[in-house]
Amino acid sequence: MATRILSLIALLLAMVVAPLPALAQDDFAAQVNALGPGSFADRTKAMAALVATGDERVPPILLALSDGTLYMRKSDDKVVIAAKAGSDFALTDPVDGADLGTVPSSDIEKIKSNNGLRGKIRTAIGQMTLLSPDRPTRLSAAQSILKNADPAMLELLDQALAAESDPGIKSTMELARAVIVLKTEGALEDKRAAVQTVVSHNDRAAQNVLINSLAEAPDELKPTIQSGINSIGSTLAVWDVGRNLLYGISLSSVLLLAAIGLAITFGVMGVINMAHGEMVMLGAYTTYVTQLVIQAVAPGLMEYSLAFAVPAAFLFTALVGVGIERGIIRWLYGRPLETLLATWGLSLVLQQLVRSIFGPTNKLVQPPSWMSGTFDLWNLSFTWNRLWIIVFAIAVFIALQIILNRTPLGLQMRAVTQNRRMASAMGIRTPFVDAMTFGLGSGIAGMAGVALSQIDNV
């Protein structure tokens, strides 16, 4: 019995509550349509009613009214957003964004606004955005004011500053206020205080603000502005050095991996492989091919493509390296000049082979989302892909140290490096060690190619 009563109550509630969203939607649409007919005073009242709703759809509608893209359809007095489409106008519903088709200009009438109404619109939009409880909305509004620097927003900006508690948004608002003060007529002391506010941000955006305001500034204020520009410039120069160092470290991490492979080959076998750079190339193209295969077979795994590309590049280039050692290098031990010429010729063959297969144009390797974008460290912007490349190079270096010092192959490689004849006399198969060494060096170069593919196109 209790279950039936609960079911009946739920059914009644569903019948009563279900129409509410539609009624709210119709009510909001009616308020939007009230912007069309009547005088400017009527339009102002309708706008105030819309602002009072606090609906996030209101600012774009008011902005369309201010920009002159808000129209009234003559057939039913419906307010629409119209955009020129050839000789006709494409209509959009401002309430839900639905496409309402195209109509000739004679079927719609522009909803007019004057300077007074546009000023009220700016204030209304500012109130709904700068004073919004939603943080991203307030931040976007502050950034917009900073970009436009509209003096009409100064009073509203002061109100928002007094109410703002978020440090990041407040900093943006302070910078926007300082920019507006520098653009408008006012007391010299206020402008000096605005310059100090801009200088306190101490970043490139602040420097650009001062540079743009220098030409039109009063002569008494120009030395202060120039001093601020120089101060920020000195700070940015230091940060630029740090950024260049980090970028250099990330690129040198790739070169480190390539150099490690070459050093292993030369240390054990005494061979300078002129085709070693082509191992890096093969590793980069293996990454590209791996992504093509994953895209065709399992697109959902594209985010983890590097987890497949790294071992694939290592294994493929290591096998190529073993093939080079077994097919060419082992016949030329003790003949360094012939080895250089043979591997150099091989590098040309590999380059032309890749060009014939993949073409001469660059190939795009898509980085995963966790390697995309940048992060800020004070005034230093650094990309995630370069940071992960540094981490990857360190990880490969540590893994190689473990292989060389904690595995039988590493022990044999070190023995052959120190004394090849004694190692052979102790039963170590030096030809096998040579092949594995060449394969290991080539495989590490292939992994360098994977890292390089995340910095630029292949």
241-257 confidence digits (pLDDT tens): 888 888 889 889 989 98
The pLDDT, as a whole number, for residue 354 is 94
Q: Dmax of the chain from CA atoms?
A: 105
Helix (H, G, I), strand (E, B) or coil at 340: helix
Burial class of residue 176 in the structure, from the number of CB atoms within 10 Å of its CB (0-12 exposed, 13-18 middle, 19+ buried): buried
Q: 381 - beta bridge partners?
A: 376
Helix 154-163 vs helix 135-148: crossing angle, to nearest 10: 150
CA 439 from centroid of its chain's CA atoms: 37
Termini Cα distance of the chain: 72
The pLDDT, as a whole number, for residue 25 is 64
The pLDDT, as a whole number, for residue 378 is 67
Parts of the chain with a pLDDT under 50: 1-23
11-65 confidence digits (pLDDT tens): 333 333 344 344 356 778 888 888 888 788 888 888 878 877 767 788 888 888 8
The pLDDT, as a whole number, for residue 425 is 92
Neighbours of 78 (CB within 10 A): 19
Q: Determine if the pTM surpasses 0.75.
A: no
Burial class of residue 365 in the structure, from the number of CB atoms within 10 Å of its CB (0-12 exposed, 13-18 middle, 19+ buried): buried
